[in-house]
Amino acid sequence: MATHADVLARYRAFLVDVDGVLTRGNEALPGAAAGLAALRQRGRTLVLTNNSTRSRDELARHLRDLGFGVGPDDVVGSAFLAARYLTMHCGPSAVWVLGEEGIRGEMAAAGHRVAEDPREAAWVVVGMDRHLTYEKLSHALEALVRGARVLATNEDATFPTAAGLVPGAGALVGALRGMGYPPDVVVGKPSPVGFEVALDVCGVQPEGALMIGDRLETDVAGANAAGIDSALVLTGVCTDEDARKSETRPRWLAASLAELSAGCAVALPGPLQ
Ligand SMILES: [Mg+2]
């Protein structure tokens, strides 16, 4: 790929997706740890992931175990975003969780109350739940018929694992929608909520940040809508051809995070309007 010496020089912060950029399944992608370290030499780096199953602490520990030099303050997951959204817009809230421990942990850490009775909840916070049961859906419905609103961590349809695709948070959001309760708020990518929080955490304006991701419909579309430049890396779900024929255009195209961090990227024309 062509090298543009100034690819990274214009940015002060780098928002970095996890699956397909840093990792594939439970393994680090080749050169990704060194690539992330190289970005850190140039500016603030913040890992921005739609994963809702882990808290910031757990996400950081997982990434450290894979060789990435990150701490909890360098990571924003969609469970954290959901907790932050409630704090900013509603104050301390009673929530019913349809999801995994990451959501419970972030809600408690932010001072929200995880209700033990669905009838007490003002919000149903929904994310990926690999232990979904009919009973859990029934409990969520109990909260919803009493007026609770739906806060979705994200709507990713599927989630890549070493064994192939598995249902993502979107499958659970779809179940609630099927009962007549579509989400009132979605905080994960491509929602602007996640990008606003990420810019706030980094202390930069949109034009000073670069989103690095592997999905056009979340990483790139969300960044474009938020006025943030994006780079698509080809180590995840989208291909070079996907990027060139899609109306959702990244600013940059790179073979991998390792290549991008070395300044090797192709400039694409701006997003088609
Ligand atoms: Mg990804």
Domain count, the chain: 2
Residue 2 has pLDDT above 80, yes or no: no
168 is in which domain, residue-wise? 81-186
**The domain that contains 145 carries what CATH number?**
3.40.50.1000
Residue 146 has pLDDT above 60, yes or no: yes
Distances in Å between the alpha carbon of 75 and those of 17, 56, 142, 215, 217? 10, 6, 33, 19, 21
Confirm whether 8 is domain-assigned.
Answer: no
- Percentage of the chain surpassing pLDDT 90? 88
Same domain, 136 and 182: yes
| Ligand 1 center to 17 CA (angstroms) | 5
Neighbours of 244 (CB within 10 A): 12
Confirm whether 6 is domain-assigned.
Answer: no
Of 186, 217, 252, at which residue does a domain stop?
186
| Ligand 1 center to 51 CA (angstroms) | 10
Same domain, 171 and 196: no
Same domain, 156 and 126: yes
Per-residue pLDDT reduced to its tens digit, 166-177: 899 999 999 999
What is the per-residue pLDDT for 273? 44
| Ligand 1 center to 92 CA (angstroms) | 31
Confirm whether 76 is domain-assigned.
Answer: no
- pTM (2 decimals)? 0.91
Q: Which residues pair with 168 in a beta bridge?
A: none
Of 186, 204, 220, at which residue does a domain stop?
186
Residue 221 has pLDDT above 80, yes or no: yes
| Ligand 1 center to 75 CA (angstroms) | 14
Read off the pLDDT band of 139 (50, 70, 90).
Answer: very high
Instruction: Residue 230: name the closest of 245, 249, 244, 205 by CA.
Output: 249
Q: Where in the sequence numbering do the catalytic residues fall?
A: 17, 19
* Beta-strand pair 27-28/23-24: antiparallel
Of 168, 186, 204, at which residue does a domain stop?
186
Name every residue whose Cβ is closer than 8 Å to that of residue 78 and which is 6 or more positions away in sequence. 49, 50, 51, 52, 127, 153, 154, 169, 187, 188, 194
Same domain, 216 and 262: yes
